[in-house]
Amino acid sequence: MSWTDERVETLKRMWAEGQSASAIAKELGGVTRNAVIGKVHRLGLSNRNDEPAEAAAPAAEAPAPEKKVEKKPAAAPSRPEPAPEPAAARAPAAEAPAAQPAFTPVPRRPIVPAGQPLPPQPSANEISPEALASVREVEKRARKLTLMELTERTCKWPIGDPATEKFWFCGLPSQPGKPYCEAHVGVAFQPMSSRRDRRR
DNA sequence: CCCTGATTCGC
DNA sequence: GCGAATCAGG
């Protein structure tokens, strides 16, 4: 595979979206994450640290008191994704004034979603008692992962109420090719026959 | 162990 | 230019 314009475009787009190199490689196919990372660097992406470039800022005379740019070998600050940070300009010799009337602090919403957004939770009346027992047992040993910690090989079965703090994902090793662990696969994937005549 | 990106260097 | 191998970290 070669880096056609189209593939490069996809690479740029996904990288900009904050996708990981491996995810991009998977999407493109035919390349490894290393290839993607290598390309990202060659394209000059990766560190979008063009910190200078500022103009209207503090008064001019700051004869570089100290190190302005700490160039440590292990650079690479984290790259969140959608929200580019302002990278507040360091005021050389002046502390920040009193307040910043420039913008109104965004009122953080108390996050009170309400209601359960719909975890798979199949109706219990169609699941075998054994499977249910197995699930309860397994959920005691859930790794309690957060959404961010899930991977392709961790069980993504949600446990608890998403509207509360008491919510996490199973996280146990998932069945190859399946999104859930063995126990959860058992309740998530039921044969057509068993849920057949469920008259509305 | 799983994963992440960064860097090197032979090709 | 490319990307496997390696490094450094979570």
Domain ranges for chain A, please list them. Answer: 5-42, 129-197
C-alpha A25/C-alpha A19 separation (Å) is: 10
C-alpha A79/C-alpha A171 separation (Å) is: 25
What pTM, to 2 d.p., does this model score? 0.43
Q: Rounded to 5, what percent of chain A is helix, strand, coil? A: 30, 5, 65
Q: Looking at this protein, which amino acid is placed at residue A99?
A: A
> Any atom of strand B under 7 A from CB of A21?
yes
pLDDT the model gives residue A199? 53
Burial class of residue A41, CB neighbours in 10 A (0-12, 13-18, 19+): exposed
Residues A90-111, mean pLDDT to the nearest whole number: 45
pLDDT the model gives residue A77? 39
Question: Element (H or E) spanning A169, and its range?
Answer: strand A167-169
pLDDT the model gives residue A40? 94
Read out DSSP for A78-125? Answer: ---SSS-----PPPSS----S--TTSPPP--------S--------GG
Amino acid A40 CA to nucleotide B11 C1' distance, rounded Å: 20
**Do residues A162 and A119 lie in contact, with contact meaning Cβ atoms separated by under 8 Å?**
yes
Name the closest nucleotide to A1, judged by C1' and CA: C2
Digit-coded pLDDT (tens) for A121-137: 555 556 677 778 888 88
pLDDT the model gives residue A12? 93
**Do residues A32 and A1 lie in contact, with contact meaning Cβ atoms separated by under 8 Å?**
no
Instruction: Name A175's Cβ contacts closer than 8 Å, sequence gap at least 6.
Output: A181, A182, A185
Positions 56-95 of A with beta carbon below 7 A from strand C are: 74
Digit-coded pLDDT (tens) for A41-59: 999 987 655 544 444 444 4
pLDDT at A146 over 50: yes
